[in-house]
A and B are shown apart, each in its own frame.
Chain A
Amino acid sequence: MEKILIKDGILVEGPEGVTLAANRCKSCGRVFFPKSKFCLDCQGNELEDIPLNKQGKLFSYTTPGMPSSHFKPPYAVGFVAMPEGLRVFAPLDIIADKPFKIGMEMEVHEDTLWTEGEKEYVGYRFRPL
C-alpha cells in the first residue's frame, strides 16, 4: 500500500510523539492549523513552526447516521479546542466506555483515515482520554 498524507505538512514529531504541525505569528501570537502562509489576523509575514499540544478539550461532536465522502456510519466527528487557542475539526474515535462529553480531554494520533485501491490516506484522529 502506498501511504499518502491527506495534506502536506500537517503532522510533525513533537516532544510527546506525532502531533499536528501548526505555525504561530511572531507579531500577534495567533496560531494556525493547517499552517498559514501569512498571519490571517494581523497580516504579519513572520511565522514560526510549532507542534500543537497533543491534547485538547472536546468542543462539540456528532455521530452521523449518514455517510460523508470517506466515512460510513458508525463514525464520529467534532471540534477539539486546543490550548493554543484554536479549534480543530477532526474525526473522533468511538470508545464504548468513554462516551463523548463536551469538555472531555482528547488526544490526537496519526491514523489511516481511508483507502482507495492501493492508496492509504493518512491523517489524524482524536480519541477520548
Chain B
Amino acid sequence: MRDVFIIGVGQSTFGKLSDRTAADLGVEAVSEAIKDAGIKPRDIQIAYGCRVFDALTTAQSVLKGVGVTAIEMVNVENACASGSTAVRGLWKDIAFGLYDVGVAVGVESMTTSSIAGKLIPPQKDDFDGHLGLTFPTYFALIARRLMETHGATAEDFAMVSVKNHHHGCLNPRAQYKKEFTVEQVLASFMVADPITLLQCCPNTDGAAAVIMCSEDVAKRYTTKPVRVAASVLLSADYFFKKTDLTTVTMGKNACRMAYEMAGVGPEDLDVIELHDAFACEEIIHYEDMGICKPGESISLLRSGATALGGKIPVNPSGGLLSLGHPLGASGVRVIGEVALHLRDQAGKRQVPNARVGMAQMLGGMESGLEAGAAGIHILTI
C-alpha cells in the first residue's frame, strides 16, 4: 500500500439553483479542482461519482463536460456519506497501485429532485417511518436525551447554530451568509420540539470535487501535497445494540479505526468538518470523536473551544447548517475544506497553523439499523 495525496480541491456555488443541472454544478467543481491541481483533464485515469437522488451515470454526466471520457468511472451511493464513499474508493485504487491520478466528484440538485420541498419519504417497508419517525423527529429525540443525560439546554443547541452561521459568514461559498442570535434561532419555527428551523440544515444544490494521486505525481504538481493519513468507511450495526441516542456507535468506531490508521489521536486534531444536519447532532460527535471526555460535550461547546479561534474549531466552513447540504456533495466537500485549511488557503475562516484535520460524514436512516454509513478521513500536511 502506498501513500495517497490530495492535490486539487473544487467546489461549486452552493444555494437554491434550480435553473442549473446537477451535472453543470459538477463541472464547476471539477474544473476548479483540475485548475487547482494544475493537471490536464486528460491526466485523470479514474473517476468516482456520487449523487443520492435521481442518480444515473453521475461521473460520466459531469466529466464529459470537462473533456474526460472513456476511462473507468464508478458511481456510488451511501446517503449523506456518499461523498466519503467516493473518496474512499478513489483512495483504495491509488493506494493499491491500480491508478496514479483520479477525481472524486459529488453532486446534488435538491431543488429539482423528486423530494424537492418534501421530507424524505419512508420506504414502503420502513415501519417506524410510517409511524412518524423522520430525520427531524429522530434528532429531536436525541436532543431530548442530551437534555436528560448531559444537562443540555435549548440555548446550547441554538449556540451550535449561531457558531456555524457565524463561520458561514466568513465563507464566500456559504448558502446563508447571515449571522443569527440565540434568541432568533430559538424563535424560529418549532420543527420538532426542541429543534427549531434554524437548527436544521437547508435544502441545497451544489457539487464538490477532489483530485487525488500517488506521491510521485503529487511531487510534480505541488509543494503542498495533503496526505490522506486515514480513510475509513463503516456501516451501521443493529439499532437494538445502541446504549443511548446520545452516541453514534458507528461513527465512534470509525473514528477509532481512523486514529489507529493515521497514528494520531483526537488531541492532535487542529480542525474538524462534520455532519451537522441538525445543531444537536454536532454535540454528540464531539464525544464520539474523543475531542472531549464522555459527558463533557456541553462544557466543551460552552467554552468556545469548537468555534474559530478556539482550541479545536469544528465546521469552520459553516457546516451543513450554514454552508448548506447537497447530499451527494457534502462528503467530498468536507475533505476539500480540511485540505484548504492544511494548505493555509481557507481565507477569512482559516484555522491558523492547521496540520492535522478530520473530515467526517455520516449518512442514512435504515429501519432496524443505527444509521447507514460513516466515512472518516484524516488529512495531514
Contacts and interface: CB of A to CB of B under 8 A. Distances in A.
Contacts of A65: 189-193
Interface stretch (A11-19, A46-54, A83-91): A83-91
A41 B238 CA distance: 9
B134 A102 contact: no
A30 interface: yes
B134 A68 contact: yes
Contacts of B131: 6, 77, 89-91, 113, 123
B148 interface: yes
Interface residues of B, number: 30
A34 B130 CA distance: 14
B193 A64 contact: yes
A90 B245 CA distance: 16
B192 A7 contact: no
A68 B132 contact: yes
A69 B240 contact: no
Interface in A71-99: 71, 75, 77-79, 86-87, 89-91
A45 interface: no
Interface string B120-143: 011000011111111011001110
B119 interface: yes
Contacts of B191: 64-66
Contacts of B227: none
A87 B368 CA distance: 11
B144 interface: yes
A61 interface: yes
A91 B238 contact: no
B240 A62 contact: no
B137 A68 contact: yes
Interface of A: 6-7, 30, 32, 34, 40-41, 59-66, 68-71, 75, 77-79, 86-87, 89-91, 102, 113, 123
